[in-house]
Amino acid sequence: MRLPGRLSAAIAVLADVETRKRPVSEALKAWGLNNRFAGAGDRAAIGNLVYDALRRRASHAALMGSDTPRALVLAVAVRDWGEDPAALSESFAGDNHAPEALSAEEMARAVGQLGDDVPGFVLADVPEWLAPSLERGFGDNWIAEGQDMAGRPSLDLRVNSLKSSRERVMKSLARFTPEEAAIAPLGVTMKAGPRDARTPNVTTDEGYLKGWFEVQDQGSQIVAALAGAQPGEQVLDLCAGAGGKTLALAAAMMNKGQIFAYDSDRNRLAPIYDRLKRNGARNVQVRAPQPGALDDLVGKMDRVVIDAPCTGTGTWRRRPDTKWKLTPELLSQRVGEQAAILAEGQRYLKPGGTLVYITCSILPEENDEQIAGFLAGNPGFASVMPEDMWAAAFGTALPAGLATGKGGIALTPRLTGTDGFYFNALRLVE
């Protein structure tokens, strides 16, 4: 397929997402099944167009004066992919699969600039109702933070130190030109390419199948390292999900001590069994959800890790459709769940133990404000200095700008080149 046909397909997929309220991945898959002539390169290019349209949906729409799928996709072609609108329109003429030629207004708008009167939430490409939260969290930098959240993410891997080394993994993936991640010592990163660049499929690599590495954003690796789990400790991973953090904790503990991996959702937990095997993680006991599943652990843990359910606002680069679907009701539901899990999690600590709180959110309601609420109701806890947690994990000083006001550490695409994450460690004073 040539570009005009790919643009038409992206318009159709976006329309499907909007009218049927489908997740993008589902709509892209359905398009592929109905258009079997399209190759992997076409599907990747169409996916990139759709995701780019959603990443900067607000500013694309403001520029084009319209938020139809056509307007958004044309904006991507010109603003993000660098196409000249007149040449693009001409290329549509001889192509049966092309969208209609661009109107004079569309051509003029696509190369225009956003006016001075454009509100901050449009410049930041975030929903209007979230602007006050982001401004509270990031101060004067909130628009720049939003803009970097609208970029394409890298593909990051965590080398499994139980089975391999960074050097070996990078050698085995040399065809994808991997680089060492900037912060995570076991991280390997592959930058996102422009336009129709394809994301490397690393999960068919023999190194992956042998358990040498996992796909894991560098931010997730950093917060897992900050958790500070030591060989020999008793650790409860209370929201283990499919085990991304569990595997990193097991490797950090060199398979010594014990991790109890629990999740209230059996389906989310299901993949953990295979992943543990592939990774050679042998110090993990999975506790399936059932009444009393964790009763024997009350008051016994050195560390309780809460990778809390959250809005996922830190992953907007990867799932830009979720940015526009988030509602105040869902945010307040998540905040309530987090407060309940913090109250539950602290019961398992022994005196002197550490409660680790992690979200992949950039909203203060789920981060510093959640922790402030917990500390107000639990005076036996105190935040561990973020500088100390960082130095213990990485042996370096905490980079400027990452410390939040309330003992937390914030990671963002702008600050650390990672997904957005929040970390806070609270010690139960003996």
- Residues forming the annotated binding site for S-adenosyl-L-methionine? 263, 307
User: Which string of DSSP letters, residue by residue, matches 386-410?
Assistant: HHHHHHHHHSSPPPTT-B-TTS-EE
CA dist., res. 219 & res. 243, Å (int)? 15
**Catalytic residue flag (residue 360):** yes
Marked catalytic residue, from 157, 223, 225, 360: 360
Closest distance between ligand SAM and the C-beta of residue 209, in Å? Answer: 20
What does the longest C-alpha to C-alpha distance in the chain come to? 76
User: Which string of DSSP letters, residue by residue, matches 113-133?
Assistant: ---TT--HHHHTTS-GGGHHH
Annotated binding site: 263, 307
DSSP letter, residue 360: S
CB burial of 209-230 (b: ≥16 within 10 Å; e: otherwise) equals eebbbbebbbbbbbbbbbbbbe
The answer to whether 300 and 233 have CB atoms below 8 angstroms apart is no
CA dist., res. 318 & res. 150, Å (int)? 9
Closest distance between ligand SAM and the C-beta of residue 414, in Å? Answer: 22
Cross-strand pairs, 306:
357
Q: Closer to ligand SAM at the Cβ: 120 or 280?
A: 280
Closest distance between ligand SAM and the C-beta of residue 98, in Å? Answer: 42
Closest distance between ligand SAM and the C-beta of residue 206, in Å? Answer: 24
Q: Closer to ligand SAM at the Cβ: 7 or 358?
A: 358
Amino acid identity at 174: A
Residue nearest to ligand SAM (CB): 244
Distance of CA 80 to the CA centre of its chain: 21
Q: Closer to ligand SAM at the Cβ: 261 or 402?
A: 261
The answer to whether 73 and 49 have CB atoms below 8 angstroms apart is yes
Closest distance between ligand SAM and the C-beta of residue 245, in Å? Answer: 4
Q: Closer to ligand SAM at the Cβ: 48 or 311?
A: 311
Q: Closer to ligand SAM at the Cβ: 42 or 217?
A: 217
Binding site for ligand SAM (CB under 6 A): 238-245, 263-265, 268, 307, 309, 337, 341
Active site residues: 360
